[in-house]
């Protein structure tokens, strides 16, 4: 009978790997082969064996394999990670493979460099992803249909990244211990077996991240119109929730059909208790000359600093305004276009208005959302 086991994320640390394989042999699982991610065991009678792991960049020299074989060590497998495995019966007195820590450190150095390189690359990539999300603005974490994917992706990505960095640190410590002659004592394979489960978790995380990205691409063309309801229905929902708002009608919208009117109330977004947003545009022949109103309201769960608020501002030219109506207010006006972003506690409100009466829109903004 053949058994297959995932190779632990702790494969770079030899002591735990050796003890694990010895325990498996004692349970009747005799290592037969190894792949890049899997160990293959044959089910046999339990036996007492000793295993040793050899790190060697590239193909292991035939003369070295022959030397080890003459000393009593059987070559078993390579994991395709430049990690070679030898074994011998536990009751036979034969020379140890590793007796010089400095030589072992030299052989292990390529693995240490690889692990540290991966750690540095991961840290840089994490910084790039976080910087990219910061550039998109905090409001992207509140966008309906996108926020869950974005928060899930960031959580999974950061979990994988931090673990890769931890592994790089551990590999460096092991290399340093080899050079200084410090012995690492492992009484069991507990840490290695934890790494096996982490390997499974990493696979699930990678698949989940891939699924999130694919789902995001497939849904990107429909996300901006999903879950929108008529403005009248939304107003009823907001009244029920007791949330402040105003519409184009409050600004004296011309008596004409709405060219575009989309709105939605979104409950339980990852970082918000309640969010609503709508876009309303009058039906002018040239829509750029028409009246346009966009309101977005966030009730943020996380502690909201002014620095985070600045990241959510749509217009870089917006200037901070001193006012008692809000804790923080940023304002920008370009003719008939008015942009306001305000924070009151953990409530953030964005307004984009284009029309004939920006002064009235600003007054309504203060009266509706300010103190």
Residue-wise pLDDT tens digits, 177-229: 877 766 665 567 788 888 888 888 878 877 877 776 676 666 554 444 445 66
Is 158 a member of any domain? Answer: yes
Average per-residue pLDDT for the chain: 79
Interatomic CA distance for residues 301 and 238, integer angstroms: 19
Tell me, what's the pLDDT at 216? 61
Across 38-52, 110-124, 256-270, which has the greatest mean pLDDT?
38-52
Question: Span 264-278, mean pLDDT?
Answer: 73
**Boundary (domain end) residue, out of 201, 223, 245:** 223
Of 89-93, 250-254, 364-368, give the lowest mean pLDDT range.
250-254
CATH of the domain at 321: 3.40.1000
Interatomic CA distance for residues 299 and 13, integer angstroms: 47
Domain identity same for 70 and 192: no
Is 337 a member of any domain? Answer: yes
Domains identified in the chain, total number: 3
Residues in the chain: 371
Interatomic CA distance for residues 360 and 366, integer angstroms: 10
C-alpha closest to that of 243 among 184, 206, 298, 187: 298
Is 339 a member of any domain? Answer: yes
Q: What is the domain extent for residue 340?
A: 231-369
> Over pLDDT 70: what percentage of the chain?
80
Domain identity same for 128 and 166: yes
Domain identity same for 172 and 277: no
> Over pLDDT 90: what percentage of the chain?
8
Domain identity same for 118 and 183: yes
**Boundary (domain end) residue, out of 223, 256, 291:** 223
Interatomic CA distance for residues 170 and 151, integer angstroms: 29
Angstrom CA distances, 274 to 263, 268, 296, stand at: 14, 6, 11
């Amino acid at each position: 009978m053949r058994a297959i086991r995932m190779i632990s994320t702790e494969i770079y640390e030899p002591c735990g790997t050796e003890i694990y394989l010895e325990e498996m042999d004692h349970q009747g699982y005799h290592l037969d082969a190894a792949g890049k991610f899997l160990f293959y065991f044959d089910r046999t009678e339990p036996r007492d064996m000793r295993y040793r792991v050899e790190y060697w960049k590239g193909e292991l020299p035939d003369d070295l394999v022959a030397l080890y074989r003459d000393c009593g060590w059987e070559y078993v497998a390579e994991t395709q990670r430049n990690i070679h495995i030898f074994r011998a019966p536990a009751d036979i007195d034969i020379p140890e493979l590793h007796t010089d820590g400095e030589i072992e450190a030299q052989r292990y150095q390529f693995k240490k460099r690889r692990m540290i390189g991966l750690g540095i690359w991961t840290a840089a990539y994490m910084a790039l992803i976080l910087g990219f999300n910061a550039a998109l603005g905090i409001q992207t974490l509140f966008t309906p249909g996108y926020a869950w994917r974005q928060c899930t992706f960031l959580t999974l990505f950061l979990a994988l990244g931090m673990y890769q960095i931890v592994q790089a640190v551990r590999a460096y410590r092991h290399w340093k211990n080899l050079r200084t002659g410090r012995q690492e004592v492992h009484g069991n394979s507990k840490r290695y077996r934890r790494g096996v489960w982490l390997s499974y978790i990493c696979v699930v995380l990678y698949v989940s991240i891939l699924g999130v990205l694919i789902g995001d691409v497939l849904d990107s063309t429909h996300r901006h119109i999903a879950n929108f309801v008529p403005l009248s229905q939304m107003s009823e929902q907001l009244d029920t929730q007791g949330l402040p708002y105003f519409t184009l009608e409050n600004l004296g919208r011309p008596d004409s059909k709405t060219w575009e009117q989309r709105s939605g109330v979104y409950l339980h977004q990852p970082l918000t208790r309640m969010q609503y947003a709508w876009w309303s545009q009058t039906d002018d022949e040239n829509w750029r000359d028409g009246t346009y109103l966009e309101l977005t309201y966030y009730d943020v769960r996380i502690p909201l600093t002014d620095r985070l608020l600045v990241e959510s501002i749509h217009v870089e030219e917006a200037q901070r305004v001193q006012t008692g109506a809000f804790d923080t207010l940023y304002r920008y006006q370009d003719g008939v276009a008015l942009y306001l972003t305000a924070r009151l506690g953990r409530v953030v409100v964005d307004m984009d208005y284009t029309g004939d009466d920006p002064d009235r829109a600003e007054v309504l903004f203060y009266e509706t959302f300010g103190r």
